[in-house]
Structure 1
Amino acid sequence: MAEVMVRDGRFSRMLADAAIKEARRGSSSESRIVKPVPDIDTSANTLQTPDRLVHVLTTFSSPRIVVLGNVLSDDECDALCAYTEQRLTRSPVVGDTDGGTQLHAHRTSKGAMLGRGETELIARIDARLAAIARWPVQNGEGLQVLRYEKGNEYRAHYDWFDPDQPGPRKHLEHGGQRVGTFVLYLCDVDEGGGTSFPNLGLEVQPRKGNAVFFRNTDDYGSPDRQTLHAGAPVVSGIKFVANKWLRERAY
C-alpha cells in the first residue's frame, strides 16, 4: 500500500491512515499468545483415568468437542441424582447488567449447585474430570445438577462470560473465563433432551454415564462463538444432567 500513498506528488492522508490500521492489525495478530487450555487426549479410543477407563466416542477439532462414554457408573449417576433431588430449584441465568442471577423463559429446568468436593462421590467425580481434561481440580466450579421434565429446555446460549457486558464481566474477576464445559448425562431420556450445537448441525444424545466436553474459547483465550449450544426440549421422560465448568485460573 505504501507505493500508492503519493499520487501526483501529493500525500494521501486516507491511504496513509488505512496503511497504519493494517499494520496495527498485523502486529496485534502476530503478538497474540497461545494460552493453556483444558483438552482431552484423543489419540486412542480409550482414556485411563486413575480410577476408570473412559471411552472416546466422537471428536471434533474446531471447535474442540469430545463425546465420551463410561465417564460415570450407573451407581454414581443414581447416587448424584438422589443426593440433589430435594435441593432442586428453578434454574437461573446470569444477568447482562449486574451479573446477578435471574429467571428466564429460555431456561425452564430445575437445578442445584454443589460445592467442589462436597462429598466423597463428588470429590471423586471432580478428580476424574480434571484428569480427563488435564486441568487442575482447583480450576473447576462445583457441579451443577439439572432436572428437565417434559417440555423443559435451555435455549441456545454460550457458557463463556461476555467480557463486553458489565454483568458477566464481574464473573471474570474470580477464576477468569469459563474455558471448558463438561455435560454429564445421569440418565437415559425416552425422547428428546439432546445437547445441540446449532451452528455445527450436531446434537449429542443423552446416554446414562456418557458426557460431552467442549472448549468455550479459542487457542488465544477469546470466546468461541461456534460453541453456541442448547438443551433440546424433553419430549418424553425425564432428563438429569450435571454441568462442570472449568475456569482459566483457580476458582
Structure 2
Amino acid sequence: MTICVLFFQTVLILWSSVQAISEDDFPGWMREINYDDRLNKKSTAIDPTRIIQLSWKPRAFLYKGFLSDEECEHLKNLARDKLEKSMVADNESGKGVLSNIRTSSGMFIEKHHDETVKRIEERIATLTFIPQENGEALQVLKYENGEKYEPHFDFFHDQYNIQLGGHRVATVLMYLSNVEKGGETVFPNAPDDRVKDETWSECAKKGLAVKPVKGDALLFFSLTPDAETDNMSLHGSCPVIEGEKWSATKWIHVNSFDKPNKSSGCVDENVQCGEWAAMGECQKNPSYMVGTDAYPGACRASCRVC
C-alpha cells in the first residue's frame, strides 16, 4: 500500500508541476475570481488547471475552488452547535489533551454522514490518489479572534497513534470562510520569496504562507517520497486578527484507518474517544460518536452502546 501511495503522489506532482508561484501567473491568487461559479456542485472530478504547486519542500499544493459555497456552508452548519475546545495529541501517550498550543474549537463529522460529505470525501480521494479508507473523519474547526494553532507536525511522535493506520502521510485543509486578516496557514521552515504587504499578518511573514479563501483546499504531505517524516512540513495556523476562520481537515494515513473489526460495531476509531465521552460528547454529538447501524460512529465502545 505504501508503494502505491507514493506512486500516485508522484503522479499528482507531475500533474500539477507547471510553473513557480506568481500572482500574475495564477489568476485568483488574490481572490479576483469567483471559483464557486465554475464548480459543478455535484461533481467528484478534479480540474488540474486549478492546482497550484506551492512548494517541493514540503510538497504542498493549493486547489482553487475545491469546495462550493454551498458545501462550505453545509459543513459549517453540521458543526456549529457541536463545537468543543480542540485538543492535541500528547507526544508520549498519544492521548488527547487541552493545550494553549491550539486554541480553536472543533468537532468531527462521521464518514459518509450524508451525500454532501460523501461527495467531498470522494473528491479528496480523487485529488490525493489515496483510498478513502486511509482517511480519518472530517474535522471542522472554528478560530475566533486571537485563536491559533502553533506550528506542529501532522505525523506522529508516539507509537500508539502510529499503530492506527501508520503515519499521516497527507493533509487536505479546506477553508470554509474568508478571514478579514490573519488566520493564514504558515510553514515556518519553508522559504517564501513573495513580498508580503500589510494584508498579511506578521505570523505569515515567517515562512511559506497561504491565506484562507473560502472554498480553497491546501494539500500537503508530511512524509517525503521515500516515506521518511518531513521536518519541512512543520505548519501552523496564524492567529485570527479580524473576523473568524472556519476550516475542515482530512488527515490521511499510509494504511487503512478503518478498523478491521469495524463490522462488529463496538470499537473506538480515535484515541480521544474516552476523553470526549467523559465530556458528554456521546449525547452532544451522537452522529459522530455513536452513529447508526448503517454507519457506526467512531466512539461506540466509549459511549457503551455495544
Report how far residue 53 of structure 1 moved: 4.8
For 2:153, the equivalent position in structure 1 comes to: 158
For 1:225, the equivalent position in structure 2 comes to: 231
Q: How does 1:126-205 map to 2 (within 5 A)?
A: 126-162=121-157, 168-200=158-190, 201-205=207-211
**8 Å contact 2:173–2:218 — kept in the other structure?**
yes
Report how far residue 51 of structure 1 moved: 3.1
Q: How does 1:59-74 map to 2 (within 5 A)?
A: 59-74=54-69
Give CA-to-partner distance per residue, 1:82-135, whole Å, 9 cap, x none.
111011000000012221100001100000012121221111111000001111
Partners of 1:34 and 1:247 in 2: CA distance = 13
Report how far residue 50 of structure 1 moved: 5.2
Give CA-to-partner distance per residue, 1:182-219, whole Å, 9 cap, x none.
11000000110000000112110000000111010012
For 1:56, the equivalent position in structure 2 comes to: 51
Matched-pair identity in %: 33
For 1:93, the equivalent position in structure 2 comes to: 88
| 1:114 is the counterpart of 2:120 | no
Partners of 2:44 and 2:139 in 1: CA distance = 22
The one-letter code of the counterpart of 1:236 is E
Q: List 4+ stretches of structure 1 deviating above 6 A.
A: none
**Normalised by the size of structure 1, how large is the TM-score?**
0.80
Deviates more, 1:182-191 or 1:36-45: 36-45
Report how far residue 59 of structure 1 moved: 3.1
| 1:42 is the counterpart of 2:16 | yes
Partners of 2:43 and 2:183 in 1: CA distance = 31
Consecutive unaligned residues of structure 1, counting only runs of 5 or more, are 1-32, 163-167
**Normalised by the size of structure 2, how large is the TM-score?**
0.66
Task: Provide closer, same or farther for how the CA distance between residues 62 and 34 of structure 1 changes in structure 2, counting only shifts above 3 A.
Answer: farther
Partners of 2:156 and 2:92 in 1: CA distance = 12
**8 Å contact 2:43–2:119 — kept in the other structure?**
no
**8 Å contact 1:42–1:59 — kept in the other structure?**
no
**8 Å contact 2:44–2:122 — kept in the other structure?**
no
Give CA-to-partner distance per residue, 1:126-156, whole Å, 9 cap, x none.
1000001111111111110000000000001
For 1:216, the equivalent position in structure 2 comes to: 222
Greater strand share, 1 or 2? Answer: 1
**Secondary structure of 1:207 counterpart:** coil
Partners of 1:50 and 1:138 in 2: CA distance = 20
